[in-house]
């Protein structure tokens, strides 16, 4: 395209850098209003532990002891940098600094996307379009401020692609500056997540491709000893800097620079944690999602204007056959950099969750191709058609822009027209998986408490740690509760995000607690509710149940279920108490009412089986338990009861297999 298209009004590079400066100002302006996401709370604490490891010269090994989070396998260099800055300068509002760092990283990502597009087209206008398309992509930009893992990884990936393209253009003898910049890009990518090792393969692929494309000239260079004397030292520097420099801020990598990074790579490919996900209106574990999970998410959450640009690029390629080899390589390489990771994670069944945020790095080459396609439309169409195309593109751009204006800082929750926008997607797909909506709920409650908290400590329960929003005030106590288990804690107010709630309840409106004093919405969809506790029947009934005072538990929980008829766990503990008391008919009525709220709630299904076991109806209990395993293959509470039923029915081999498999 650079070689064949005449650019009538090629913009000066000053406009490109001016636009980048404008985006920087906007992003720094927005950073203080950004929300704290759930991963920040975990990764920032890990960053503090990493800094402790360095300050203690390796004696404080807390950062290496991460059996649940597996964070020792992450380089997370930018998270660690934010913790270091906060430590050195004793900054109180550490999350604000993180969000400013995120803004700078995000701006660099936009800038590199623009530079890739310029490398492809030779046009600064195309570069401006690329930065603009990335900036109006809510899924990407909604993660910029607080996601110091996926966005920096995307930056390193894009940076490396840019310098691979430059190195290819400079073949057969790339400049030392290009090699160093490429090595830095790979090192930075690996310092965030070791999956950046794939970029060495990308660089090697570009090297081999150049010789395949330039067959006769390539054979001459391959036979030239002087060529190898120049290229081998550069390859050594590329690998050495790209690999070992990435370990500088990663304790686990430094301890064993070969074994541990490779172990981390294996863990990253098949992440051990499985998380419940809503996808296409059903519930899956993230380790058992359909193969098309990622393609479907890409299809429904990338703005239409970006898709139009990619389609335009494909049309251009179909209509134009006379481009240079370098141009075709650039297009093919960008397409490869987008498609290869998608095909790879689908083929190895990688554990993906929370939309496609772990794959945001593929968006840079995708946007570059899209911007080139849009630029093609703008430069090739006649004036009569151009006006209509520009108007159409402007309308398409308005959709994500208006979404961001309406929803910031929860703008990442974006679905395009292929998903019938957000209203239809709610209850069909993971919605506020990063818990951004909690910010406005916590802020509202902090302001509303006012005089109420004077002279006493207010107890708040939440299914997200809202402590940082409340600056960890001494007059407020925050405890974590799962949405379904709010009965288990004492609290005055509960902030409950509409997350990890079964889609049946969302669709049938059986999820909402009583005594809601404030409800928050995201584009008309409920996102957070604030509940004020009216009495202590539920929590005292729970305590009585735990103390095996079942009569007292029955009395208190019966009153509690009348006060809050949608609380499933009140029903569970009430039914458990009735089972212990032998009041099976009353238990059946409670279970029947609970199934109207959620017909596949696992504790209720298990209770039905426990009743049948108590009645020695083992075959019926087995049927109920196996149905429960079908509903939720990871509901491991069923295992002891399955073993008991298999033993009671004489199926000893199956019982022993379960004992061995689950170490029971």
| Position 263 pLDDT exceeds 80 | yes
Q: What is the pLDDT of residue 578?
A: 98
554/537 Cα distance (integer angstroms): 10
In a domain, 421, yes or no: no
623/630 Cα distance (integer angstroms): 11
81 and 167, same domain (yes or no): yes
Averaged pLDDT, 513-541: 96
| Position 7 pLDDT exceeds 60 | no
Averaged pLDDT, 154-183: 97
168/120 Cα distance (integer angstroms): 12
Q: What is the pLDDT of residue 68?
A: 87
463 and 371, same domain (yes or no): no
Coil, helix or strand at residue 411? coil
What percentage of the chain has pLDDT greater than the value 90? 86
- pLDDT tens for each residue of 631-641: 999 999 999 99
| Position 288 pLDDT exceeds 80 | yes
**Cis amide leading into 409 (omega within 30):** yes
238 and 165, same domain (yes or no): yes
488 and 340, same domain (yes or no): no
Going by their DSSP bridges, the two strands 476-480 and 458-462 should be labelled as: parallel
Burial of residue 541, with CB atoms counted within 10 A of its CB: 0-12 exposed, 13-18 middle, 19 or more buried: buried
Q: What is the pLDDT of residue 471?
A: 66
In a domain, 412, yes or no: no
In a domain, 110, yes or no: yes
CA distances, 359 to each of 157, 368, 478 (Å)? 11, 16, 33
434/40 Cα distance (integer angstroms): 10
98/661 Cα distance (integer angstroms): 43
In a domain, 6, yes or no: no
| Position 224 pLDDT exceeds 90 | no
Q: What is the pLDDT of residue 450?
A: 76
532/515 Cα distance (integer angstroms): 6
109/156 Cα distance (integer angstroms): 8
Q: What is the pLDDT of residue 453?
A: 67
Are 397 and 403 in contact by the 8 Å Cβ rule? The answer is no
202/433 Cα distance (integer angstroms): 32
Residues whose CB falls within 8 Å of the CB of residue 487, separated by 6 or more in sequence, listed in order: 538, 539, 541, 542, 560, 567, 569, 570, 573
End-to-end C-alpha distance for the chain, whole angstroms: 65
Averaged pLDDT, 412-438: 95
459 and 335, same domain (yes or no): no
105 and 70, same domain (yes or no): yes
pTM of the model: 0.94
403 and 442, same domain (yes or no): no
337 and 194, same domain (yes or no): yes
In a domain, 631, yes or no: yes
Domain of 30, in residue numbers: 13-268+289-407
Cα 595 to its chain centre, rounded Å, is 32
Q: Domain end: 407, 427, 450, which one? A: 407
Q: Which residue has the higher pLDDT, 364 or 455?
A: 364
Bridge partners, residue 460, by sequence? 478, 493
Averaged pLDDT, 2-27: 75
**Cis amide leading into 172 (omega within 30):** yes
Q: Which residue has the tokens 């660099």?
A: 108
In a domain, 273, yes or no: no
Coil, helix or strand at residue 366? helix
CA distances, 188 to each of 201, 233, 239 (Å)? 16, 21, 13
| Position 3 pLDDT exceeds 50 | no
pLDDT category at 379 given cuts 50, 70, 90 is: confident
573 and 488, same domain (yes or no): no
Q: What is the pLDDT of residue 5?
A: 40
| Position 533 pLDDT exceeds 60 | yes
Are 581 and 612 in contact by the 8 Å Cβ rule? The answer is no
Q: What is the pLDDT of residue 472?
A: 65
Helices 198-213 & 215-222 angle (0-180, nearest 10) = 110
Virtual torsion, Cα 433, 436, 439, 441, nearest 10 deg: -50
245 and 376, same domain (yes or no): yes
CB atoms within 10 A of CB 507: 13
Q: What is the pLDDT of residue 529?
A: 97
485 and 573, same domain (yes or no): no
Q: Which residue has the tokens 């061995």?
A: 660
Adjacency order of strands within the sheet including 458-462: 476-480, 458-462, 493-497, 525-532, 516-522
In a domain, 542, yes or no: no
In a domain, 4, yes or no: no
- Closest to 350 in 3D by CA, of 207, 201, 193, 504: 193
Mean pLDDT score of the chain: 94
Domains of the chain: total: 3
Burial of residue 258, with CB atoms counted within 10 A of its CB: 0-12 exposed, 13-18 middle, 19 or more buried: exposed
- pLDDT tens for each residue of 596-616: 999 999 999 999 999 999 999
Are 2 and 120 in contact by the 8 Å Cβ rule? The answer is yes
Q: What is the CATH number for 607?
A: 1.25.40.10
Are 87 and 51 in contact by the 8 Å Cβ rule? The answer is yes
445 and 400, same domain (yes or no): no
What HEC string does 623-637 produce? HHHHHHHHHCCCCHH
Backbone angles phi, psi at 493, to 5 degrees: -130, 145
Bridge partners, residue 290, by sequence? none
């Amino acid at each position: 395209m650079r070689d064949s298209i005449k650019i009538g009004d090629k913009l000066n590079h000053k406009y490109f850098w001016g636009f980048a400066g404008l985006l920087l100002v906007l992003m720094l302006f927005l950073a203080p209003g950004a929300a704290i996401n759930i991963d920040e709370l975990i990764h920032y604490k890990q960053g503090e532990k990493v800094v402790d490891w360095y300050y203690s010269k390796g004696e404080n090994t807390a950062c290496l002891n991460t059996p649940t989070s597996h964070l020792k396998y992450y380089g997370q260099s930018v998270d660690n940098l934010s913790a270091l800055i906060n430590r050195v300068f004793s900054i109180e509002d550490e999350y604000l600094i993180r969000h400013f760092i995120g803004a700078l990283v995000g701006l660099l990502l936009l800038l590199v996307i623009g530079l890739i597009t310029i490398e492809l087209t030779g046009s600064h206008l195309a570069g401006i379009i690329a930065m603009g398309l990335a900036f109006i992509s809510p899924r990407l930009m909604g993660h910029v401020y607080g996601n110091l893992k996926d966005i920096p990884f995307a930056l390193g990936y894009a940076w490396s692609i840019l310098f691979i393209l430059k190195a290819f253009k400079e073949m057969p003898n790339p400049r030392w500056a290009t090699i160093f910049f490429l090595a830095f890009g790979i090192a930075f990518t690996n310092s965030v997540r070791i999956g950046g090792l794939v970029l060495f393969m990308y660089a090697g692929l570009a090297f081999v491709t150049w010789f395949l494309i330039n067959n006769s000239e390539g054979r001459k260079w391959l036979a030239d000893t002087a060529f190898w004397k120049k290229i081998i030292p550069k390859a050594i520097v590329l690998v050495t800097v790209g690999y070992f420099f990435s370990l500088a801020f990663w304790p686990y990598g430094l301890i064993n620079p070969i074994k541990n990074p490779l172990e981390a790579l294996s863990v990253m490919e098949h992440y051990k944690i499985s998380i419940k996900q809503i996808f296409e209106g059903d519930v899956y574990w993230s380790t058992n999602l359909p193969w098309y999970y990622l393609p479907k998410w890409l299809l429904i959450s990338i703005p239409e204007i970006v898709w139009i640009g990619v389609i335009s690029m494909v049309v251009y390629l179909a209509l134009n056959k006379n481009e240079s080899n370098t141009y075709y390589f650039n297009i093919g390489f960008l397409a490869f950099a987008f498609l290869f990771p998608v095909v790879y994670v689908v083929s190895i069944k990688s554990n993906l969750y929370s939309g496609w945020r772990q794959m945001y790095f593929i968006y840079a080459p995708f946007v570059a191709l899209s911007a080139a396609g849009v630029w093609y439309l703008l430069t090739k169409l006649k004036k009569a058609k151009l006006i209509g195309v520009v108007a159409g593109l402007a309308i398409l751009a308005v959709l994500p822009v208006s979404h961001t204006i309406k929803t910031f800082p929860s703008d990442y929750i974006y679905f395009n027209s292929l998903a019938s926008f957000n209203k239809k997607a709610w209850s069909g797909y993971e919605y506020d998986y990063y818990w951004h909506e909690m910010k406005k709920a916590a802020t509202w409650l902090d302001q509303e408490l006012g005089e109420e908290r004077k002279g006493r400590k207010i107890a708040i329960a939440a299914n997200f740690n809202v402590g940082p929003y409340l600056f960890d005030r001494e007059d407020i106590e925050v405890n974590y509760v799962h949405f379904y288990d709010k009965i288990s804690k004492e609290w005055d107010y509960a902030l409950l995000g509409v997350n990890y709630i079964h889609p049946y309840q969302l669709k049938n409106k059986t999820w909402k607690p009583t005594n809601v004093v404030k409800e928050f919405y995201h584009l008309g969809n409920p996102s957070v509710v604030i509940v004020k506790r009216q009495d202590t029947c539920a929590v005292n009934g729970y305590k009585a149940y735990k103390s095996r005072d079942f009569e007292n538990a029955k009395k208190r929980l019966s009153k509690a279920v009348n006060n809050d008829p949608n609380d499933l766990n009140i029903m569970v503990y009430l039914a458990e108490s009735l089972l212990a008391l032998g009041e099976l008919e009353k238990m059946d009525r409670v279970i029947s009412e609970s199934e109207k709220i959620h017909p596949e709630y696992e504790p209720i299904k298990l209770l039905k089986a426990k009743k049948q076991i108590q009645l020695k109806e083992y075959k019926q209990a087995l049927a109920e338990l196996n149905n429960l395993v079908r509903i939720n293959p990871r509901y491991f509470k069923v295992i002891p009861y399955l073993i008991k039923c298999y033993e009671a029915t004489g199926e000893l081999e199956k019982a022993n297999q379960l004992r061995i498999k689950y170490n029971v």
